[in-house]
Amino acid sequence: MIFGPYMWLLIPGIILGIYAQIKLTSAYNRYLQVGTHSGLSGAEAAREILDHAGLADMPVEEIGGHLTDHYDPAKKALFLSTDNFHGRSISAVGVAAHEAGHALQQQAAYALFNLRMWLVPATQFASVAWMGILILGMFLGFTKLIGLAIGIFSVMTIFQLVTLPVEFDASRRAKDQLVKLGLVQADESGAVNKVLSAAALTYVAALVTSVMQLLQFVMIARNDRD
């Protein structure tokens, strides 16, 4: 296995990733069973936030799958998974508000949000190109190809680095709006924070994994030069 000598570098990311998923599943499922005092569904909460921000024309649509919730900046639309679209729980409202937070970022021309959008095409290319170029470079012994592969992979690491503050900021905007608009009460805000913090940890894990994998490739390249 060409990556064998440095596989240990991936262990921190793997452990953190597993922990983050367990944390998210635990927090989300726990508060999926707890209704909000307002009785609003996730879709209704998102609608309230968007309308208050002057985004009444922005659609909030249902999408299949589990935790497939996302904001599409190209379509300027929110997509909520079935549980969160119809659910009237703290988890549903928290996740829906987080996605609405991304819409508020785009409306405010938040610089890091715009940077992440700009990076998306390059990241999509990098995700399918780096592995083939790296393997080809190592097989043929072409250090320039290996360096190119590492450079391409670094684009994904930069994307993860930019994504982290964007996600934290979306959660901050979500929590601010939920309290400001009275969509959650003071005694519910802590539960919302637990759900969104657990979700944010998955992005921390993704960044750690990407950084450690990039370091792994750099060490492999240096070793091949020696």
Say whether pLDDT at 1 is over 60.
Answer: no
167 catalytic, yes or no? Answer: no
More confident residue, 28 or 137: 28
Which are the contacts of 168, defined by CB distance < 8 A and separation ≥ 6?
A: 200
More confident residue, 2 or 17: 17
Query: What confidence score (pLDDT) does residue 138 get?
Result: 72
* Domain count across the chain: 1
Say whether pLDDT at 4 is over 60.
Answer: no
Query: What confidence score (pLDDT) does residue 8 get?
Result: 77
Query: What confidence score (pLDDT) does residue 2 get?
Result: 47
Q: Is the pTM of this model over 0.85?
A: yes
For the stretch 214-224, pLDDT in tens is 988 888 777 66
User: Which helix (H) or strand (E) segment is 193 a member of?
Assistant: helix 186-225
Which are the contacts of 74, defined by CB distance < 8 A and separation ≥ 6?
A: none
Rounded CA gap, 132 and 183, in Å? 49
CA proximity to 191, closest of 179, 204, 181: 179
For the stretch 116-157, pLDDT in tens is 999 999 999 999 998 888 788 777 766 788 889 899 999 999
What is the domain extent for residue 138?
Answer: 4-225
Question: Comparing 52-61, 130-139, 163-172, 201-210, which segment has the lowest mean pLDDT?
Answer: 130-139
Give me the catalytic one of 44, 48, 61, 99.
99
Question: Comparing 45-54, 75-84, 140-149, which segment has the lowest mean pLDDT?
Answer: 140-149
